[in-house]
Amino acid sequence: MSDNTPILKTLTAMAERLSLSSNQALLLFAGAHGWLNMEMTVASVTVLHQLAKDHDVDLYEEEPFLAQLIARGVFTPEECVLFGWSRVKKEALHDGQ
């Protein structure tokens, strides 16, 4: 059995920093890995949309809103790796240069 302590600590810290519930943090994590059914995927995307709204990110900008959130530092580098978003971050940084 693997030790999930680092994952839980990262999710807890993220939830506290972004004023999310622990359930919302788990939804983001599970959604990022494709582990949710359609109904829960919609709930996960709703959390991302709320984060975008809270950080004045334009959902209709050409750049994906997830890349905008990462570029603005909403998610830490550790969270990007945990969520599998490090590729999105690299692409966002590359496009900004």
Indicate the number of domains in the chain.
1
- Cα–Cα dist 1/93, whole Å: 36
CA distances from 76 to 2, 36, 44, 52 (A): 23, 23, 18, 15
The tens digit of pLDDT for each residue in 17-54 reads: 999 999 999 999 999 899 999 999 999 999 988 998 99
Q: What band does 88 get if pLDDT is binned at 50, 70 and 90?
A: low
Tokens at 84, concatenated: 């599998």
Per the structure, the complete domain to which residue 19 belongs is given by 5-95
Predicted pLDDT at 85: 79
| Nearest Cα to Cα of residue 44 among 60, 32, 56 | 32
Give Cβ neighbours of residue 55 (< 8 Å, ≥ 6 apart).
69, 72, 74
pTM above 0.85, yes or no: no
- Cα–Cα dist 57/5, whole Å: 31
Give Cβ neighbours of residue 59 (< 8 Å, ≥ 6 apart).
49, 52, 65
| Nearest Cα to Cα of residue 50 among 73, 30, 71, 25 | 25
